Amino acid sequence: MAQLNEQARIIAAAGKSVLAALGFNRKGASRVWLADHGFWLDVVEFQPSGFSKGSYCNVAVHWLWGMTPALTFDYGFHRVGAFAKFNDADTFRQNVAAMARAAAQSVERHRAIFVSLPATAEHLVGREPTETDLGGWDAFHAGVACGLIQNDGTARRMFDRMSASDDRNLDWVKERRSKAERLVAVLGDRTAFRREVQTLLDAQRNLFELVPFALPE
């Protein structure tokens, strides 16, 4: 227990030292750090192992119009560095600090891409879902982004791609299908589409205890 507590303190200190300067806040007492960008979150997770004391470090983007109530790794999910094993506090501290710095570099790359809704839509459509994308969330997110910039034809095509993969009755598939149906129903009505997406954003922002945010014009 003493080692676990020391691990947690070291990880928290690394997050505060490196990530807080980039606008991250720790999610409660967890190993997850979040940075708010209005319609998306930077996510850095110091993931424990079930087999050894120590930590991995995962980085991703979470779209705030996506699946609830989970924190999902929607884009760019990858693991930075190797597993930092806890052998002694000093070595672990150095390794976790290096992980945090590597995570910060990944974060900066995401921020250079998703600078606006038009840039987000262009990037997500540019990496359209392929036949290997069985989940369809990539298409959903691209559809939302395109709908918000009134690229309705591409948005509809993305939602159609998503629907083609929705052949299961899992709860998260039903949720995605329901959201997409509401959004497709108001494609072409800018005010109504934005209102639907704003409702999705508000629900997740409340879930993560984030301050209110209005979609940019």
What are 120-155's pLDDT values in tens digits?
999 999 876 555 454 588 999 999 999 999 999 999
pTM passes above 0.75: yes
Estimate to the nearest angstrom the gap between the alpha carbon of 31 and the chain centroid. 15
152-165 vs 117-126: helix crossing angle, rounded to 10: 50
Which pLDDT belongs to residue 1? 45
pLDDT in tens, 147-194: 999 999 999 999 998 888 766 677 778 888 999 999 999 999 999 999
Which pLDDT belongs to residue 136? 85
Domain locations in the chain? 2-103, 117-207
Greater model confidence, 49 or 122: 122
Burial of 157 (0-12, 13-18, 19+ CB in 10 A): middle
Which pLDDT belongs to residue 101? 96
Greater model confidence, 127 or 27: 27
Interatomic CA distance for residues 176 and 22, integer angstroms: 31
Which pLDDT belongs to residue 133? 56
